[in-house]
Amino acid sequence: MKVLVALSGGVDSSVAASELLDAGHEVVGITTRLWGGESDTGCCSIADVDDARRVAQQLDIDHLVFNFTEDFNTHVVDPYIQAHRDGLTPNPCIECNRHLKFDRLSERADLLGFDAVATGHHAQVVQRGGAWFVARGEDTAKDQSYVVHMLPQRELAHTLFPIGHMTKAQVREKAAMLGLRTAAKPDSQDVCFITDGGGRTAFLGSRIPFRSAQVIDAVDGSALGEVDALEMVTLGQRRGIGLVGGGPKRYVVGIDHKTATLTVGDESLLQCESIAVRDVVWAHEPVVGPVAVQCSAHGAALSGELTSIGRGVSIAWDSPQRRVAPGQSVVFYDHSNTYVLGGGIAV
C-alpha cells in the first residue's frame, strides 16, 4: 500500500513511519507548514521541520513539505482569536486535526494517488459492524483518541495510526534502536503558534482589545477586585483573577461578557447535573443511552446518559461533575470507554 505519513519532527511520527516500512508499505513522509509567524514551540518551528527531514533521510524515504498556512489561519488561528473575543475556551489542536492534518492532507493524498494517510497519534482505528471507529491507544496515559475524535467514515477508512498498539516507552525504545535523532526529543505540549516568551497574553493582546472586568462574590455580590483582560479568563480558573491572597479558595463560576463581570465562589458552585453539547459529529450514526465522556485531552472518563436535543445532545451525569468551559470539546465513547461514538462543543 502507498502511504503518506505525516512527519511532525517528533518521535511518535518518526516511529510511525518506521512501522509502516516494517509492514512492507511504500512510504513517503510529509511535513505541513502551518504557521507562518513566530514559533518556538509545538510542531511548527523550523527545528521541527528540520528534524522531520533528517528522520526521512535516516529512514531512506522521500520527504515533501506542503504549505497550508492560509488554511491554518482560516480554520485554526482566526477561530482561536474569535473564540477568546467571544468568551469561549477553544481547542486549536483539535481544529487543526479536523481541518488540516486529516481533511486537507487526505485531500492532497488522494490527488497524489496515495492509498492511506498515517500519523503518529496514540490511537487506533477499528471496524465494528461494517463501520470504522477511532479507538483508544494502547498506552492509556498517552491516548490521543480525544483529539482525533472528529474523523468521518470516509477518512477513517483510509487512516492509519501505526503506533496505536505501542506504549510511549516502546516508541522511544524503537527510535533509539534505529538511531533516530528524535528518540529522546521531549513531547510537544503547547499550541504551536503561541511562543514561550510571550504566551497567550502577548499573542491575543496584539490582535484583540482586552477589556477589564469587575470581580464579584457569588454569595453576596460584593466587589472583590478587577481583572485586566476578561478575554483571558476561563470558567473554573482560580489564579490570575485579581484577588488578594490569604482568603478562601475562589474559582470563576460565572463570566458575563455583556456586563464585563466575573463571578467567583466556592468550587462546589462549579458542580452540575448535566451538560449541553453543540455542533455534534458522529463517527457513524447518532447514539443515545449510556456513554463514557471525556471533556479534556487528559481528563478522566465520566459516565452519563446521552439524549438528543435538536441539532445537539444533552448528557445527564450519573453523579454531579465539574462544569466544562464553553468552547471545549466533549467526546463520547461507548459505555465500555473503548471507542469513539462522536463529539461536539460544550455550550
Q: What are the catalytic residues? A: 96, 192
Burial 104-142 (b: 16+ CB within 10 A, else e): bbbebbeeeebebbbbbbbbbbeeeeeebbbbbbbbeeb
> What is the chain's length?
347
CA–CA distance, 79 with 291 (Å, rounded to integer): 29
Return the SS3 of 317.
Answer: strand
Neighbours of 193 (CB within 10 A): 22
CA triple 195-196-201, angle to 5 deg: 70
CA–CA distance, 347 with 345 (Å, rounded to integer): 6
CA–CA distance, 251 with 259 (Å, rounded to integer): 19
CA–CA distance, 151 with 283 (Å, rounded to integer): 7
CA–CA distance, 254 with 219 (Å, rounded to integer): 12
The answer to whether the beta carbons of residues 133 and 281 sit under 8 Å apart is no
The answer to whether the beta carbons of residues 231 and 85 sit under 8 Å apart is yes
| E strand residue ranges, 228-339 | 251-256, 261-265, 271-282, 289-294, 302-309, 312-322, 329-333
Q: Positive or negative CA dihedral for 190, 195, 199, 205?
A: negative
Query: Pseudo-torsion of CA 52, 54, 57, 61, nearest 10°?
Result: 0
- Quick one: cell of 254? 460565572
CA–CA distance, 53 with 31 (Å, rounded to integer): 8
